[in-house]
Structure 1
């Protein structure tokens, strides 16, 4: 049990020893395999280590680990969905246009980084930003597609740019 008398450098170790297998089993039931569950479990503890949450203040360590684990699980499924959509798009390309495995990996990494950068934006703001940046659509075209005013699109774009700048700080 993690408590206030445990030295700070040992608190995470105790938390890890007492709860890792439990968390990994919980994750394994959600992702369906041991490898991804182990990775997500390790990522959870890394997040705990880098978080501002003081371990001695944790009253319910499993609830906290579940919260962090659920967020990572959500990111995992989002990444998997993004990867599937990318691979499906690649399958539609003529063979001479298909990127090499190295290029695929770089493109997928870039897509994941972009997805993480835009995480947290409302759906319409995100969509407006992507249409503008990836498809080169103007504000009028975006407004028509979203069925909103151009002024709203300008507000969405300002919100997206501000979000990107703050995330990078």
Structure 2
């Protein structure tokens, strides 16, 4: 019985050596092609290398690699399946990422304070405008009226209303730059 066990162990060692030699040859002949194949599917060099390594590990784990008649085809099929699995896992991970509640839609307290400061400044600048210019600007910006509607309310021409709006806007922009510094 001991003789049979030694014979069995040496047979397994020979199988393992042949299997390793087969896979080594496969690696030497086709690894570059396999990596290119995987890079096009995964769009990532590091993922391609990892999937290729996983595919070789699966080949090494085969009980009877000689039973697979086209080892190269099998390698590529295993690699393609692993690539699909990796892409699916990434898609699933992206779907289940935590939702960001504090993004650009919701400004920080600091941003809100800066906006409030600018609003106060602009309100003061509007008060510096001549009465008709100020009224046209307020009707446009705060009440959402069109230039035609403002012209009717103020009994002015549409062209004059547009001039008042341009003047008010330029005045506020110039004064805001002066107040905050020319770099902003």
Query: TM-score normalized by structure 2?
Result: 0.42
Whichever of the two has the greater Rg, that structure is 2
Query: TM-score normalized by structure 1?
Result: 0.46
